[in-house]
Amino acid sequence: KQWYQRRVRGNMSKLLATGGLLFTYGPYAVDGVISPQSNIDFHNSLRQRDPRWGLRDVYHLKEMSEKEGMKLEMVIDMPSNNKTLVFRRLPPDSDTERSVREMSIKSVEAR
């Protein structure tokens, strides 16, 4: 998790202009649950190679992105049990950023 935070989270908001989008694609855990079995097996094989590796949880990515001025806008189910996550760069330290962040939390939690 720390490697991921330093490499990805630390650069997401720096590389995107306000309003810019970041798309990620792959298998993810959702609220701590990994499914189906093929994704569990993949996660375990990654962890065996390096304990820092493995599937990331959508909820944790949402939390990390908010701390970096990003908003998780969409989670799209894709073929082969993958997902596309769409993040948007928010304006820096604005009232709009805070209210959008609060709305995004409610929106993602409602799904």
Query: Over its length of 111 residues, how does the chain's per-residue pLDDT go in tens digits?
Result: 455 555 555 666 678 889 999 999 999 999 999 999 999 999 999 999 999 899 999 999 999 888 888 899 999 999 999 999 999 999 987 554 455 555 555 555 555
Residue whose entry in the numeric block shows the structure tokens 């944790």: 60
User: In whole angstroms, what is the distance from residue 89 CA to residue 74 CA?
Assistant: 13
Distances 109 to 11, 18, 63, 105 between C-alpha atoms, Å = 25, 24, 12, 6
3-class DSSP assignment, residue 92 = coil
- Answer whether 80's CB lies under 8 Å from 25's CB: no
Structure pTM?
Answer: 0.73
